[in-house]
Amino acid sequence: MGSVSNNTINTNVKACSPLTGAKRLREMLKDPSKVVVCPGVFDGFTARLALAAGYDALYMTGAGTSMSRLGWADLGIATLNDMKSNAEMIASLNPSVPLIADADTGYGGPIMVTRTVTQYARAGVAALHIEDQVQEKRCGHLLGKQIVDREIYFSRLRAAVMARDQLQSDIVLIARTDSRQTYGFDEAIERLQEAVKIGVDAVFLEALQTKEEMEKVCQIMGETPVLLNVVPGGVTPEYTIEEASKMGFRIIIYPGLCIGSVLESVGKELKLLKTTGKSSPRSSANGVKDAFNLCGLQECIEIDKEAGGKAYATVGK
């Protein structure tokens, strides 16, 4: 008997969902008044919390994936297999909710980029972004980034577009450039303009430094959707969703949203136990049961019951 995959049990969406995440995202981007807001998630638990909060789309952060799965900072250590398997698990929790996933540099030359796009598309990812850093990349808001030549970057994007088209996939391709910090705003714009000619669906200018730059990139890119990366404490000024929408941004991601919350709350709880010898009142059995319910306990019990099973008859009581 074969093993059961993450996609086998999907308790949040009916099997006959009319739209996949990729198709739904494309529908969202067709509406010029719609802004796609994505909290950054990095595992099944944070993804479940975001889904329960009612978000229309999610963003799988590469930094969060590297730290949660490997325990290491975002320095290009996570591989295609690390990223793809995490994205597939998150996307499977509710396939009708679009998941935008970090794909770093595509993990190699054109052949590897083709493989990356193919695997992400088959994993149910709605969109991915590919950047122009060297393979030994780092978080977009850290200093000292090294950028590849234009033609290397464009070859990555051409490979991604070819893979999407050959698959006849709806996956949304986002061209990300980190060249603003090293070569300036104009170079970054020219790279993105060429990316649109190559055939990407949206663009992402990382580490914008002023409000004027934020407004200008949206004006220049016209009808092409522009993604805004919101990193509190980063180099890009932070504005509300409404303010960013008025500037022209169509996709807004908050990659560190859950990272910061977990770092603060869990760190505080661990310190409390270490110093006082007991946990806070909320760290109780009821809290664990609430977490189980968040992660599909009742739906699994119902599946077992409808199939005639009795193994979990008393679990939910």
**Cβ count within 10 A of residue 100:** 28
Q: How many CA atoms lie within 13 A of 133 on its CB side?
A: 26
- What confidence score (pLDDT) does residue 213 get? 98
Catalytic-residue membership of 43: no
**CA-to-CA distance for 144 and 123, rounded, in angstroms?**
33
Active-site residue, from 26, 138, 164, 176? 176
Active-site residue, from 170, 229, 250, 254? 229
Active-site residue, from 38, 48, 104, 156? 104
Question: 15 and 54 in contact (C-beta within 8 Å)?
Answer: no
- What confidence score (pLDDT) does residue 285 get? 56
Q: What is the DSSP string of the chain?
A: -PPPPTTT---SS-TT-SS-HHHHHHHHHH-TT--EEEEEE-SHHHHHHHHHTT-S-EEE-HHHHIIIIIS--SSS---HHHHHHHHHHHHHH-TTS-EEEE-TT-SSSHHHHHHHHHHHHHTT-SEEEE--B-SS---TTSS---B--HHHHHHHHHHHHHHHHHHT--PEEEEEE-THHHH-HHHHHHHHHHHHHHT-SEEEETT--SHHHHHHHHHHHTTS-EEEE--TTSSSPP--HHHHHHHT-SEEEETTHHHHHHHHHHHHHHHHHHHHSS--TTSSHHHHHHHHHHTTHHHHHHHHHHTT--TTTTTT-
Active-site residue, from 38, 139, 218, 258? 139
**CA-to-CA distance for 277 and 271, rounded, in angstroms?**
10
Active-site residue, from 26, 86, 131, 191? 131
Q: Which amino acid is at 127?
A: A
- What confidence score (pLDDT) does residue 117 get? 98
Please give the structure tokens belonging to residue 94: 């509710």
Active-site residue, from 88, 102, 178, 201? 102
Q: What is the DSSP string of 257-269?
A: HHHHHHHHHHHHH
- What confidence score (pLDDT) does residue 96 get? 95
pTM: 0.91
- What confidence score (pLDDT) does residue 225 get? 98
- What confidence score (pLDDT) does residue 2 get? 38
- 3-state SS, 2-38, equals CCCCCCCCCCCCCCCCCCCHHHHHHHHHHCCCCCEEE
Q: What is the pLDDT of residues 148-186, one digit of tens each?
A: 999 999 999 999 999 999 999 999 999 999 999 999 999
Catalytic-residue membership of 102: yes
Catalytic-residue membership of 104: yes
Catalytic-residue membership of 194: no
**CA-to-CA distance for 75 and 62, rounded, in angstroms?**
10
Question: 40 and 254 in contact (C-beta within 8 Å)?
Answer: yes
Active-site residue, from 88, 132, 170, 206? 206
Catalytic-residue membership of 55: no
Catalytic-residue membership of 59: yes
Catalytic-residue membership of 229: yes
Catalytic-residue membership of 139: yes
**Cβ count within 10 A of residue 207:** 21
Q: What is the pLDDT of residues 101-127, one digit of tens each?
A: 999 999 999 999 999 999 999 999 999
Catalytic-residue membership of 151: no
Q: What domains, with CATH codes, occur in the chain?
A: 21-263 (3.20.20.60), 284-317 (no CATH)
Q: Which of 245, 254, 193 is nearest to 32 (CA)?
A: 245
- What confidence score (pLDDT) does residue 247 get? 98
C-alpha torsion sign, points 234, 237, 240, 244: negative
Active-site residue, from 55, 74, 107, 258? 74
Active-site residue, from 24, 48, 59, 178? 59
Q: Low-confidence residues of the chain, pLDDT below 50?
A: 1-9, 11-17, 140
